[in-house]
Amino acid sequence: MTTRVILVRHGQSTYNAQSRIQGRLDASVLTEKGSVAAQKVGDALNGLKFDALYCSPLQRAKQTAQIIVTYLSDPPKVEPSDLLMEIDLPLWAGMERQAVMEQFPQEYQTWHDSPHEFSMLVSTPEGEKQHFPVLALFEQAKQFWREILARHQNQTVLLVAHNGINRCLIATALGIQPQFYQSVQQSNCGISILNFTNIIPGELPKPADVQLESMNLTTHVGHKVPSVRPGHQGPRLLLVRHGETEWNRMGQFQGQIDVPLNDNGREQARKAAEFLKEIKIDFAVTSPMARPKETAEIILQNHPGIELQLEPEFCEISHGLWEGKFEAEIEQFYPGLLEEWKIAPQTVQMPEGENLQQVWQRSLIAWKQIVETYNHQNVTILVVAHDAINKALLCQLFNLPPDHFWNFKQGNGAVTVIDYPQGIEGLPVLQADNITSHLSGSILDKTAAGAL
């Protein structure tokens, strides 16, 4: 059984529109644009049944939640929670961002580049002390998970909150460290989905027990992918998983057996092509295997003149003697190993195949080479690969080891957006993950679970 948590950032606020820092200052309310976007969120969530709805007590989040519930057929009660309050930036709240950059240049640079080290000297009843806003927010997010997950096992919960706390909720669920706070994008009215299994009351989930199904979906508010941030000085990579194969559909392990797309997989590739049609693509790279290569070729039909480069290091994980087999057959020949793969994948050596450490190493080498080749260039690069490769790459964006392999879902035909705003010298930003709305019209990933 699974506990599903859907996170929404509030709609555009008056301070957002004025480029002011908000923090916990409650002087900001939704703009008309923000209210309209909240209505679109409600429409996108219509048809889902929620067992609980928690929101930040700040006006901009409460207003967003109150608009959303009017679109739900059986809405739960809106319950404010102080654990969903936005990041506390007392010395900056209410200031225009540009003024903060000018008045506090060193502090702002630390906030941007090393958020886990960023602090403010604040006055308390006990005297002045150093306040670490990001570290405090991470602890707040952990406390929220400890309380809420145990309370709502096997239920669906909606959270409406803020940019900072939503980042921290996603990060603490996945085991991402505070230094990557700025690497998780949350757009106004963006939707993110987390799935939890094997919840232990009072504890954070183990790596194999949490999955980011999708992150920062914005198609429902009219943005297929989040826009490039001002000052961006590096490449954007569109990471796509190949379309469905017949073996995906049947749950048969394929690995490096060169199984082609089935008809549904080609249709998924065509839908991905239509989704990316208006996005300028400058370069394209694919695994040389048939299923990603054909997916890439279909996408590039709308981008004539782009040469498709083949990267052998992006080939799918070698499952060795598992390839061609169904789960029941694997259990018969290798009892217990499949269960170990599901709960501790980092410990599994595929019989006559690879282990995840090998996949980690070869995929990262190829990925870094792409980023280095186009370093400090404002270009968009299409990369089409496989489930295991994409999972490995996403983990390594956040320096997560192979025991986090199951954290990131990658549906057939899904699109993920990764920016390098400061080039390879800076941290990457996961702008959106596992977009599949172009395949089904739903925020939920309805692609076949399939095998790797």
Between CA 341 and CA 351 the distance in angstroms is 12
4: left (phi over 0), alpha (psi -120 to 50) or beta: beta
Helix then strand count (H, E) for the chain reads 15, 14
Q: Is the dihedral of CA 435, 438, 440, 443 positive or negative?
A: positive
Q: Where are the alpha helices (DSSP H) in 225-308?
A: 246-250, 263-275, 290-299
- DSSP letter for 378, please: -
Q: In the beta sheet, which residues pair with residue 326?
A: 252
Which has the closest alpha carbon to 224: 212, 238, 235? 238
CA-to-CA distance for 240 and 432, rounded, in angstroms? 12
Containing 215, the helix (H) or strand (E) segment is strand 210-217
Nearest to 391 by CA among 377, 412, 374, 405: 405
Annotated binding-site residues read: 241-248, 291
Task: Say how far apart CA 273 and CA 430 lie, in whole Å.
Answer: 21
Sign of CA dihedral 163, 48, 239, 275: negative
With contact defined as beta carbons under 8 Å apart, do 431 and 418 qualify? yes
Long-range CB pairs of 118-122 (<8 Å, 24+ gap) are 120/89, 120/90, 120/91, 120/92, 122/90, 122/91
Q: By CB neighbour count within 10 A (0-12 exposed, 13-18 middle, 19+ buried), where does 213 fall?
A: buried
Q: Which residues are annotated as a binding site for substrate?
A: 241-248, 291
